């Protein structure tokens, strides 16, 4: 899905800045977009596609906010993550002025959300490294509800503003049953770890079974 508008008309034509030392440039995730960034981070844990095979352009869109030092990132997070892990010698920074109009900020959030949905659709993810329940929660917390609503309508699903497990499965090219089974596997492993800890730690046993138990600093230190 796409957000239909003229990007340069809405946000201005970016200035190109050649960066010859990517390690020394200060780039951070804009705080208003940190939730969308968390969604990308979670998706990278299960990403199977090697982005280097796509011959990515040596450029990165960044934003200059007068209230934040350095440059910030609001969208195209996959390339920010990629270049952070594969630092280039030279890269062109396409510098935009961060909008001070809240309506423009919301529009940018919709764009970033739409880009994330396209990212999920475009690349393969490893089911065995995926945490569907956590992923679904992150998406419903941070991705634009309007974007998800439109996506549900496009896929002939109920007009909800949240992402169901069915829709997540479709985006990832899996079935709902596969994601459900993966969730059960994760929960079973987690429960096995807790059961083992209960048997070997009196403190863990108290924490899990005694709602009135309060862990003291001394107990924590001894543990």
Q: Do 61 and 158 fall into the same domain?
A: yes
List CB contacts of 18: < 8 A, sequence separation 6 or more. Answer: 90, 91, 92, 93
Q: Do 147 and 191 fall into the same domain?
A: no
Determine the pLDDT at residue 155.
82
List CB contacts of 10: < 8 A, sequence separation 6 or more. Answer: 104, 107
Span 37-89, pLDDT tens digits: 999 999 999 999 888 887 678 899 999 999 999 999 999 899 999 988 888 88
Span 2-28, pLDDT tens digits: 555 688 888 889 999 999 888 888 999
Give the domain range for residue 190.
Answer: 180-222
Question: Is 133 or 58 the better-scoring residue by pLDDT?
Answer: 133
State yes or no: pLDDT of 1 exceeds 80: no
Distance between the two ends of the chain, CA-based, in angstroms? Answer: 52
Q: Do 39 and 108 fall into the same domain?
A: yes
Q: What would the two tokens of residue 103 be?
A: 């309506």
Domain count across the chain? 2
Q: Do 185 and 169 fall into the same domain?
A: no
pTM metric for this prediction? 0.85
Cα separation of 208 and 195, whole Å? 10
């Amino acid at each position: 899905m796409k957000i239909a508008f003229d990007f340069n008309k809405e946000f201005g034509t970016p200035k190109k800045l050649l960066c010859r030392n990517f390690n020394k440039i200060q780039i951070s995730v804009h705080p208003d977009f940190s939730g969308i960034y968390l969604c990308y981070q979670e998706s990278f844990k299960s990403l199977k596609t090697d982005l280097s095979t796509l011959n990515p352009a040596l450029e990165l869109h960044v934003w200059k906010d007068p209230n934040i030092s350095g440059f910030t990132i609001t969208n195209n997070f996959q390339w920010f993550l990629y270049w952070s892990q594969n630092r280039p010698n030279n890269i062109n920074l396409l510098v935009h002025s961060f909008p001070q109009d809240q309506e423009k900020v919301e529009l940018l959030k919709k764009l970033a959300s739409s880009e994330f949905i396209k990212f999920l659709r475009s690349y393969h993810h490893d089911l065995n490294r995926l945490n569907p329940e956590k992923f679904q929660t992150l998406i419903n917390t941070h991705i634009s509800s309007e974007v998800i609503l439109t996506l549900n309508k496009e896929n002939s699903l109920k007009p909800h503003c949240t992402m169901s497990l069915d829709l997540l499965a479709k985006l990832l090219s899996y079935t709902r049953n596969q994601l459900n089974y993966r969730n059960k596997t994760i929960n079973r492993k987690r429960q096995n770890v807790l059961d083992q800890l209960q048997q070997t730690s009196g403190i863990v046993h108290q924490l899990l079974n005694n709602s009135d138990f309060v862990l003291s600093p001394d107990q924590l230190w001894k543990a």
